[in-house]
Amino acid sequence: MSLLKQAEYIISQRKQMAEQAAADNYRKALEIPEIMEAEKEYGSVLPRYCRCEALGVIDEEKRAKYEKAREKRKQALKKYGFSEKDFLPRYNCPSCSDSGYKNGSPCSCLRQAINNIITESYGINVAQLPAFDYVDPALDEAVKAHLGGVYERMKKYCEGFPSTKFATHVFSGLTGTGKTHLACCVAKRVMERGYTVIFLTAFKLNEIFLRYHLDHRDGGRDYLENIYGCDLLVIDDLGTENIFKNVTVEYLLSLISERMFSGAHTLITTNLDGVQLMSRYGERLYSRLTDKRKTYIFQFTGENLRRIT
Ligand SMILES: [Zn+2]
């Protein structure tokens, strides 16, 4: 099944669940005789009242009956802990009522469902991404002060997304210094704000490149299209992947360059320093990733904080 079909199925399941929950609430409410009676009365006066309204006829008697029946129904529902809203589906995405499309174009919820499939194929549970409340009181004050600055900065980045000073961020530092944790917080917040996000390890991304390279027709073309097109792409742990000749560096350079050119946002975490990035990926990718006019680089230093990542 294509990514689009899978995502459409997920959205349709959400719609079905929301509608089923509303129908269940209505059925449960009608099991209560007092509500059933009020509902019947309301149901009998409503069409007559609506007809008058539609025809522009003012019939005070019908209006009074309607108001009375409506109030009686409202009170009966309230008495048993229901409200009229309980009978309407609570859609995950009010913008498209969980149809996945808005004015004929894919809604952002559908695009994000596609991205979640890609992200989750790498093993990240999107629903369990951490929030920004990272501060661990047990942490050393110096470490807290060091990380606090970048957390505050990235929080502001998320709130201002996508109109921010930098569209490309590189978190560099040793393993266990909290880079991935912060990248997860950023991904979660940007997603919550309604933008499309893909979170992948460099290892997984490299696999997708290779699959596509070996088979253009059926090798994850739809994965790549979404990876190129999402609002924020997070590449975690750059430098841990294998270098496949004619693939890894070339595809990565094309992806990063194209995203920079189109103004799309990219966040990269890496254990490598500048010298290592240069020797591994070459001058062109290195210069893009370290261009201070376009890229914000944060150096994670300090002790191993693996326990908070
Ligand atoms: Zn939607």
User: How many Cβ atoms sit within 10 Å of the Cβ of residue 289?
Assistant: 25
Task: List domains and CATH numbers for the chain.
Answer: 3-87 (no CATH), 107-308 (3.40.50.300)
Query: pLDDT per residue over 230-265, tens digit each?
Result: 999 999 999 999 999 899 999 999 999 999 999 999
Q: How far does residue 9's CA lie from ligand 1's centre (Å)?
A: 13
Structure tokens at 290: 């370290």
What pLDDT does residue 136 have? 54
Q: Give me the percent of the chain exceeding a pLDDT of 70.
A: 92
DSSP code of 137?
T
Q: How far does residue 113's CA lie from ligand 1's centre (Å)?
A: 10
- Alpha helices, H only, 230-273: 248-262
Residues 67 and 61 sit within 8 Å (Cβ to Cβ): no
Q: Which band of pLDDT confidence, cut at 50, 70 and 90, is reported for residue 199?
A: very high
Give, in order, the Cα–Cα distances in Å from 31 to each of 28, 36, 39, 42, 274: 5, 7, 11, 16, 69
- Alpha helices, H only, the chain: 3-30, 33-55, 60-79, 108-121, 141-160, 179-192, 202-214, 221-229, 248-262, 274-289
Q: How far does residue 2's CA lie from ligand 1's centre (Å)?
A: 19
Query: pLDDT per residue over 72-124, tens digit each?
Result: 999 999 999 998 889 999 999 999 999 999 999 999 999 999 988 888 887 67
SS3 171: strand
- Report the C-alpha gap between 26 and 83 in whole angstroms: 10
What pLDDT does residue 141 have? 65
Q: How far does residue 60's CA lie from ligand 1's centre (Å)?
A: 42
Residues 194 and 161 sit within 8 Å (Cβ to Cβ): no
Whole-structure pTM value: 0.73
Q: How far does residue 99's CA lie from ligand 1's centre (Å)?
A: 7
Q: How far does residue 105's CA lie from ligand 1's centre (Å)?
A: 10
- Report the C-alpha gap between 93 and 110 in whole angstroms: 10
Mean pLDDT of the chain: 87
Q: Which band of pLDDT confidence, cut at 50, 70 and 90, is reported for residue 132?
A: confident
Number of residues that this document lists for the chain? 309
Q: Taking residues 171-186, what's their average pLDDT? A: 87
Q: How far does residue 97's CA lie from ligand 1's centre (Å)?
A: 6
Q: Which of 296, 292, 294, 221 is nearest to 251 (CA)?
A: 221
